[in-house]
Amino acid sequence: MSTLTTWLRDPNPASRMQSRLGQSYLSWLRLRRNTLAMIGLGITLALVLMAVFAPYLAPHDPITQELSRRLLPPLTPGNILGTDDFGRDILSRIIWGSRITLYIVLLVILTAPVAGLLIGTIAGYFGGWVDTILMRITDIFLAFPKLILALALVAVLGPGMENAVLAIALTSWPPYARVARAETLTVRSSDYIAAVKLQGAGSARIIWGHIMPMCLPSVIIRVTLDMAGVILTAAGLGFLGLGVQPPLPEWGLMISAGRKFLFEQWWVATMPGLAIFIVSLGFNLLGDGLRDVLDPKSASK
């Protein structure tokens, strides 16, 4: 054992930081035992690396057209995954497109779960009419099919990447509110919440410091499992021409463009489709693994 791992495994940590890192290290050890989760993590990391190093990884410019080399099949020298109808290298477009996918995913992660967590914990903690009002609003959002609601929002706001993200975020917070509320209801009546109430703590402190940490794991799990859905919705909006606009290399948009040649030049639509498939699978596998590690019921043992 190296000095770092002994430090992490120290049963008597000397600071908050050390004890938190020690717990994270144990979670990591547990996650590492789950092969599928590690595959998921690998895919997710690959996506991140691909997005970061896109300029160095992509063999061609994703936007410059080269009409003499249009619709080349895969495994053509210089264009391993083939080219599209404007002669652009599909591999390069997928690599650059990972940036857009990741950007959308990150923006959604930073907005929807946060809003859902806040609304869910507040509704669950206060109960009564606060709960009724907040949850009925949630129900209204849940009553629309996600894509249709996103379509309506984009139609109002106008097409574009930012508006697509906004539309996705606005349609995806209600499930998080639900999850957070359910978790809050089980935590609310526990002795440790009673204890902190007895010490004179206010509602804000109880919700922020004591209830949210208990809801966070379920929400994080839900987020990773939903990421596939977010990517698909973004792709769907792109496919319908309401999200990212051409010539940007967004994966859904690429599938949409390839639809015209689906029977003769199948690779144009298939390759970005495969990319969406692999990344969605990666997030799902990771989410499943995280469920085992973060679930408060198993972590307490």
Partner 1 sequence: MTLLSVKNLRVTFDTEAGLVQAVRGVSFHLGRERLGIVGESGSGKTMTGRSVLRLIRPPGKIEADEMVFDGIDLMRASEPQMRALRGPRIAMVMQDPKYSLNPVMRVGAQLMEGLRQRDRVSKAEAHAKAIQALEAVQIRDPERVMEAYPHELSGGMGQRVMIAMMLIPNPDLLIADEPTSALDVTVQAEVLSILDNLVKTRGMGLIFISHDLRLVARFCDRVLVMYKGRIVEELAAKDLMNAKHPYTQGLLNCLPRIGGNREALPSLDRDASWAL
Partner 2 sequence: MALIEIENLSVTFIANHREVRAVQDVSLSVEARESFGLVGESGSGKSTILRAICGLAPVTGGQIRIEGKPIPTPRGKGFARKVQMVFQDPYASLHPRHTIDRTLSEPLAIHGLKGTDQRIMQALTDVGLPTSFRFRYPHQLSGGQRQRVAIARALMLEPEILLLDEPTSALDASVQAETLNLLSRLRAERGLTFLMVSHDLAVIDHMCDRILVMQHGRAVEELSRDALASASMTTDYARSLFAASADRMLDG
Tell me which residues touch partner 2 (CB under 8 A).
11-16, 18-19, 23, 190-192, 194-202, 205, 209-210, 213-214, 296, 299-301
In the 8-state DSSP scheme, what is residue 208? I
Shortest distance (Å) from residue 189 CB to partner 2: 9
Q: Which is nearer to partner 2, 170 or 196 (CB)?
A: 196
Contact status, residue 121 vs residue 173, Cβ threshold 8 Å: no
Please state, in angstroms and as integers, the Cα–Cα distance from residue 116 to each residue in 72, 104, 171, 205, 206, following that order. Answer: 46, 18, 11, 18, 17
Contact status, residue 202 vs residue 261, Cβ threshold 8 Å: no
Binding site for partner 1 (CB under 8 A): 9, 26, 29-30
Whole-angstrom distance, CA of residue 266 vs CA of residue 128: 56
Shortest distance (Å) from residue 191 CB to partner 2: 4
Q: Which is nearer to partner 2, 187 or 253 (CB)?
A: 187
Shortest distance (Å) from residue 199 CB to partner 2: 4
Q: Which is nearer to partner 1, 220 or 299 (CB)?
A: 299
Among partner 2, partner 1, none, the one that 18 touches (CB under a kind-dependent 5 to 8 A) is partner 2
Q: Which is nearer to partner 1, 28 or 208 (CB)?
A: 28
Q: Which is nearer to partner 1, 30 or 69 (CB)?
A: 30
Among partner 2, partner 1, none, the one that 26 touches (CB under a kind-dependent 5 to 8 A) is partner 1
Whole-angstrom distance, CA of residue 217 vs CA of residue 95: 31
Shortest distance (Å) from residue 29 CB to partner 2: 15
Q: Which is nearer to partner 2, 68 or 300 (CB)?
A: 300
Among partner 1, partner 2, none, the one that 281 touches (CB under a kind-dependent 5 to 8 A) is none
Reported for 235-243, long-range contacts at CB under 8 A and 24+ positions apart, including other chains, are 235/276, 236/147, 237/147, 237/150, 237/151, 237/154, 237/164, 237/167, 237/168, 238/164, 240/151, 241/159, 242/151, 242/154, 242/155, 242/159, 242/164, 243/154, 243/159, 243/160, 243/161, 243/164
Among partner 1, partner 2, none, the one that 214 touches (CB under a kind-dependent 5 to 8 A) is partner 2
Residues 6+ apart with CB under 8 A from 277: none
Q: Which is nearer to partner 1, 11 or 128 (CB)?
A: 11
Shortest distance (Å) from residue 179 CB to partner 2: 17
Q: How many CB atoms lie within 10 A of CB 244?
A: 27
Among partner 1, partner 2, none, the one that 29 touches (CB under a kind-dependent 5 to 8 A) is partner 1
Among partner 1, partner 2, none, the one that 2 touches (CB under a kind-dependent 5 to 8 A) is none
Shortest distance (Å) from residue 25 CB to partner 1: 9
Among partner 2, partner 1, none, the one that 247 touches (CB under a kind-dependent 5 to 8 A) is none
Shortest distance (Å) from residue 296 CB to partner 2: 7
Burial 96-126 (b: 16+ CB within 10 A, else e): bbbbbbbbbbebbbebbbebbbbbbbbbbbe
